[in-house]
Structure formats: structure tokens, C-alpha cells
Amino acid sequence: MSCHDNMLHLLNLPDGILDKILSCMSYDDIARQRLVCRKFDQTCRNLLNKGFVAVERYHGVCLKNVKAQLPRRESERRMHPMFRHCEILTAVETRLSMLSMTFMRYVDIKLCCFIPGKVIDEIFRVLRHVMTSTTQLRAHELLQELRDISSMAMEHFDEKVVPRLKQHLATAPNRSCHSVSSPSNLSLMPSRVSAMSVDKAKLANDFSKMQSQSKHNKKNVDSLKKTVRRLQLKLKRHSVQLSRQSARLREQAQKLREQDTVIAEMKRHMQEWDLTLSDLKAGRLVTSDSDTMISSENSSGVTSGEGSSNSSSISNLASASTSDNESGTSALKAESKQDATPNTSPKRKRTSSTSELPENSENDEMALRAKRFCRILKFCENKSMKHNET
């Protein structure tokens, strides 16, 4: 007996030493050691929960290191040798998120622990292989075992463990009331009753918070849906307005092009009218010059007739002094010249009258052209006024 009393039992060791001893094993072995006793169960639970948190942290460090080695451009990143490593780490990240969604909501309220320790070992194995290997990795072969055991663990937990946990939650208030009503149980297990009551209060608070949060989230979702619908209606209205404005812009552009063509035609007509005006002014000047030339010719003809008569008289006098015969002949010549001079004057009158007729017709044509030009100018002014008003 003394020898047995001196022996140190494993359960009598401190919790820290027991944690160190159990941490030397794999997480799969730790999960199996929960069947030994309650103390082993409690320590193994803590180790499994810590292992899941540790594998999440290690995965975050690995993913950060791999992404730091990859280039920023997507095209260059796909050709990089570390791209397969990044793909494997992202696949592991999705598995971790699915496991946390399945297990950790019950772990947080201390109903169970992270049960599948083999999954933690497999995740650590994949992460170590990714960080140590430098060659191209095959993601399907490396992640096949992890996908299989993680999916089986989640299915088993949802089918077998979750219904029991829900039954435990449903019967927990009755058990706590029965334990409080019986004095023997109250005297034997006071710590367990208090722990159950604390867990019940925490669960009630958590469920009430979750319900209030879900209601608040539903209200927010409804309000967001309403705002999205309003924004969609506004977008439709704005699109209709934009289409109308674009149609109006096209119409205005067409009108502007038509007005530009009209303005170009009016400018061309104005240039033509300016040319006609200049031609009309030049025609008036020519007619005035012709009138002056005709008057000067008439005056020169009269003076030449007088000079000829004077010369004839002088010649007559000279011939009279020389000889009588010559005087007779000169007198006959002078008479013939005097007879010729009055015959020329009616011809000149006729020519002047005939020259006056075309001058009058030209003046009438000039007046008609001026009237037409005034009408055209008024029409152009009216057109320009209408164009400015539009």
C-alpha cells in the first residue's frame, strides 16, 4: 500500500503538464482520448478548439506569404510558379470557413468541441507541404483527402450530433428545475447546477440577441429593397429622359444643318445681288459718259460748219481780187456749200432724237431693275428676321 501511495497518478498531474503530454500526440489521437475520462475529455476539448484556431492562424500566415511572392497583375500571376500554391490555400480557406460555420456556433456556446481532429491534422499536413515544396503542385491530388474527410465530418455532425444537441437544449430547463427541486441532487452537485443555470442564461441572452438582430436585419433588408426599387425606377425615368433629349438634339442638329444651308444660299444670293448692283452702277456711268460724248460731238460739228463757211468767204474774197472768172466759180462753190450746211442740220436732229429713245428705254430698264432689287432686299430682310426669331 505504501508503494501504491507513493506512485504518482496521471490524473493527479496539473492541467498544464497534462496539456503538454497530450499535445505531443496528433489531433486525431487527442480526439480519441476523450473517451478515457471526464478530465481527459475536458483537456482534449480545449486542445481541439485551440488546434482549430491555430490552424486558421497558420493558414492566414501561409496565404499572406504566398500572396506577397505573387505579382499584382492577374495575367502575370497566372504564369507564376506560386499560383498553384495560392489556389490550394484558397481552397483550404473555403474548407475552413465551412467547418467554422458548421461547428463553431455550437463551440462558442460550449455545447461541444471541434470533434474531427483528423481534419486538423490533414489541414496542417497540406499547409506544411505547400510551404515547403517549390515545384508545381497538383491541387486535386493534394486536397482530395481533405475534402473527403471534411465533408464526411460535417455530414456526420449535421445528421447525428446536431439533433442530440438540440434535444439537450430543449431538456436543459427541465433538468435544471428537477435538480433544484431535489435536495439530494442539490447537495451532491451544486457546481453542476450553477453551471447549467449560467449556460441557460447565456443561451437565452444569445438567442434573444440573435432574434433581435435577425429582426433588425430583416428591416434593413426590406428598406434596402425599397431603395433599390426606387433607384431602378429613377434609372428608368432618367433613361427615358435621356432618349428624349438625344432625339431632340438630333432634331436640333438637323434644323441647324438646314438653316446653315439656307444661310449659305442667302449669302450666295446676296453676292449675286451685289454683283448686279455693281453692274447697274457701272451701266449708269457708261450711259452718262456716252451722253457727254454725244454732246461734245454735236458741239464740234457746229464749230466745223462755221469754220468752213468762214473759209469759204475768205476764199471768195481772195478769188474776187485775183480774177473775175475765179470769183464766179468760188461764188458758185460758196452757194453750194451754204446749201449743203442747212441740209445737214435736220440729219443731226434725227440722230439726236433716235439717240434719246434708247436712253429712255435704258432708264426704264434701270428703274425696273432697281424696284426688283428693292423687293429682293426686303424679302431677304424678312427671311433673316424670321431666322433670328427661330
pTM: 0.43
Beta carbons within 8 Å of 320's beta carbon, 6+ residues apart: 326, 327, 330
Rounded (10°) angle between helices 15-23 and 38-69: 60
d(C-alpha 277, C-alpha 273), whole Å: 6
What are the tens digits of pLDDT across the range 10-36? 777 777 888 888 888 888 888 888 888
d(C-alpha 134, C-alpha 93), whole Å: 21
- Domain residue spans of the chain: 1-161, 264-389
Q: Is 44 helix (H, G, I), strand (E, B) or coil?
A: helix
Q: What's the pLDDT score for residue 288?
A: 56
Distances (CA, A) of 126 to 100, 119, 271, 295: 18, 11, 91, 127
Q: Is 384 helix (H, G, I), strand (E, B) or coil?
A: helix
Q: Which of the residue ranges 43-52, 168-177, 308-317 has the most confident prediction, judged by mean pLDDT?
A: 43-52
d(C-alpha 60, C-alpha 54), whole Å: 10
Q: Which of the residue ranges 138-152, 202-216, 355-369 has the most confident prediction, judged by mean pLDDT?
A: 138-152
Distances (CA, A) of 159 to 109, 113, 153, 164: 20, 16, 10, 10
Query: Position of cell 442747212?
Result: 342
Which has the higher per-residue pLDDT, 192 or 51?
Answer: 51
Q: For 277-299, what is the mean pLDDT? A: 64
Distances (CA, A) of 27 to 45, 176, 199, 302, 330: 10, 34, 27, 149, 168
Q: For 115-130, what is the mean pLDDT? A: 89
Residue 228 has pLDDT above 90, yes or no: yes
Q: For 193-217, what is the mean pLDDT? A: 72
Q: What's the pLDDT score for residue 188?
A: 33
Query: Position of cell 448692283?
Result: 277
Query: Position of cell 461547428?
Result: 103
Q: What's the pLDDT score for residue 244?
A: 92
d(C-alpha 284, C-alpha 362), whole Å: 9
Determine how many CB atoms are found less than 10 A away from the CB of residue 23.
14
Distance of CA 332 to the CA centre of its chain: 116
What DSSP string describes 308-341? HHHHHHHHHHHHHHH-HHHHHHHHHHHHHHHHHH
Predicted confidence band of residue 198 (pLDDT cuts 50, 70, 90): low
**CB 34, CB 12: distance < 8 Å:** no
Predicted confidence band of residue 146 (pLDDT cuts 50, 70, 90): confident
Buried b (16+ CB within 10 A) or exposed e, 52-88: beebeeebeebbeebeeebeeeeeeeeeeebbbbbeb
Q: How many CA atoms lie within 13 A of 343 on its CB side?
A: 6
Q: For 145-153, what is the mean pLDDT? A: 89
CA dihedral 36, 41, 43, 44 (to 10 degrees): 90
Per-residue DSSP letter, 109: T
Output phi, psi for 135, to 5 deg.
-90, 175
Per-residue DSSP letter, 10: G
Q: What's the pLDDT score for residue 370?
A: 78
Of 234-248, 269-283, 332-346, which range is least confident?
332-346
Q: Which residue blocks in 33-132 are alpha helix, DSSP H? A: 38-69, 74-79, 83-99, 105-108, 117-132
**CB 146, CB 119: distance < 8 Å:** yes
Compute the mean pLDDT over every residue in the chain, rounded to the nearest whole number.
Answer: 74
Q: Which of the residue ranges 124-138, 157-171, 216-230, 325-339 has the most confident prediction, judged by mean pLDDT?
A: 216-230
Q: What's the pLDDT score for residue 294?
A: 55
Q: What's the pLDDT score for residue 237?
A: 92
Determine how many CB atoms are found less than 10 A away from the CB of residue 28.
16
Residue 258 has pLDDT above 70, yes or no: yes
- Residue count of the chain, please give it: 390
Q: For 45-58, what is the mean pLDDT? A: 90
d(C-alpha 366, C-alpha 252), whole Å: 43
Q: What's the pLDDT score for residue 57?
A: 92
Predicted confidence band of residue 376 (pLDDT cuts 50, 70, 90): confident
Residue 213 has which C-alpha cell? 438582430
Residue 197 has pLDDT above 60, yes or no: no
d(C-alpha 5, C-alpha 12), whole Å: 12
